[in-house]
Amino acid sequence: MILNLTSSFLTFIQLITFSAYLHVKMHLILLFKEYFNMKYTTLLLDFDDTLVDFDDAEEQAFFNMAQNYQSSPTYDDFTLFKKINQAHWEAFQNNQLSKEDVLSQRFIKYFKHHNITVNGHEADECFRDELAKAPVKYFNDTLATLAQLRQHCSLYIVTNGVAITQQRRIAQTPFDDLFEGIFISEHTGYQKPMSGFFDYVFNHIKPTARSTAMIIGDSLTSDILGGHNANIATCWFNYRNKTNSTAIKPDFEIRTLAELLPIIQST
């Protein structure tokens, strides 16, 4: 009687174990099927104004810096600085200025409008220090969406800028646990949209990742054009609903990062 009960119990355990095995096996099969059916599994995400609100940090950094040189900087002053700053970075992208010239001359030119003479390098160091200290502000659902994307894709940050400043800003975030790598233009030796930037990235990831890669960013002239130069898919993060008046056309356009989820699962 005891032997029969023992035998029955062992058979019952074996059935449960086998059933659990089949359940796990089926779950893994579904996961692999989902993964291999996904068109995009390598995502390159811009940092500023894609993952975090750069305008908010830039505004705070500008006013804290400008108060060291002029008594009452205004929002019109900030708008002027942004215009000058953008023109200098575009000149850098077109190989018309060096990065060092961009960082210092933008402040010399801005303060010249107020008949103020400054040391451009000192003003730049003050600004970048304030920028690095500014609290990070995320766009809606950014962290939750990244956690979901991380389950299916390899995530990488690709950002232009000064390495020490970007590293300090990224250090305020939990991105180390979400991203497999961070690529900053100063380290790569190239600036987005240069193809050399993306060659560096894929040489450090793996060259074959290009076929399943997509870049997501807010800048048409940096991120989207860079994606075109690298021959990878592009997604324009147009959070502020801007009009695209350029000849640069993204493959996809989204208003929130959550809209990326159905795109990466498309075939």
Residues labelled as active-site residues:
46
Can you list the positions of beta strands (E) in 22-127?
42-45
Tokens 């003003």 belong to residue: 123
Q: Which tokens belong to 213?
A: 């890669």
Query: CA 55 from chain center: how many Å?
Result: 15
Q: Which tokens belong to 16?
A: 């449960």
User: How many degrees, rounded to 5, is the angle at CA 257 between CA 138 and CA 219?
Assistant: 85
CB 133 within 8 A of CB 157: no
Give the separation between CA 266 and CA 91, rounded to whole angstroms.
37
Q: How far is CA 44 from CA 102, 220, 266, in A?
A: 25, 15, 17
User: How many degrees, rounded to 5, is the angle at CA 205 between CA 199 and CA 210?
Assistant: 60
